[in-house]
Amino acid sequence: MDMPAAGLADVYRRYIACLNRQDWAALGQFVADDVVHNGRQLGLAGYREMLEQDFQQIPDLRFQIDLLVIDPPNVASRLVFHCSPKARFLGLDVNGQRVSFSENVFYAFRENRICQVWSVIDRAAIEAQLQSPLS
């Protein structure tokens, strides 16, 4: 049975808090062992590795929920980031410049764990900020 929307919102907010404190030991409470991310079967270990790499590339990374749409078992979230990737990020030479961008991401939950993720990051927004640092 699906969890009510309010419960799923709470689970999702606790997942985001887990990411922000880089509490990788707790990640399995929120992410399924066989999780699929953008069509790739990463599994929990691969998912954790992806997140650890994100924090390596972006030491000041912080996940911030801008808009949350909950319709169990699915969650859609608009995340916003204000951070400084230290070198190359998404194929762009950011080199420590502070950039702002969003990620529109959908999740399917199964038994309160994320089992599928479909994410699109607004890479064009980062590109535009690199071209014109004042915008």
Write down the least CB distance from residue 108 to its own copies, Å. 8
Q: Tell me the window of 10-18, 28-36, 44-52, 68-76 that interacts with its own copies (CB under 8 A).
A: 68-76
Q: How far is the CB of 129 from its own copies (least distance, A)?
A: 14
Q: How far apart are CA 35 and CA 51, in angstroms?
A: 13
For position 97 contacting its own copies by CB under 8 A, the verdict is no
Omega into 73 within 30° of 0, i.e. cis? yes
Give the gyration radius of the chain's Cα atoms: 15
* Min dist. Cβ of residue 69 to its own copies (A): 4
Query: How many CB atoms are closer than 10 A to CB 21?
Result: 8
| Stretch of 11-19, 20-28, 51-59, 63-71 contacting its own copies, by CB under 8 A | 63-71
| 50 binds its own copies per the rule CB under 8 A | no
Interatomic CA distance for residues 119 and 131, integer angstroms = 24
With binding defined as CB under 8 A, does residue 69 bind its own copies?
yes
Q: How far is CA 81 from CA 43, 61, 63, 101, in A?
A: 25, 7, 6, 5
- Nearer Cβ to its own copies (23/71): 71
Pick the closest to residue 68 from 38, 107, 98, 96 (CA basis).
Answer: 107
To its own copies, the closest distance from the beta carbon of 51 in angstroms equals: 19
The site for its own copies (CB under 8 A) is made up of: 5, 67, 69-71, 74-76, 78, 90-91, 102-106, 118-124
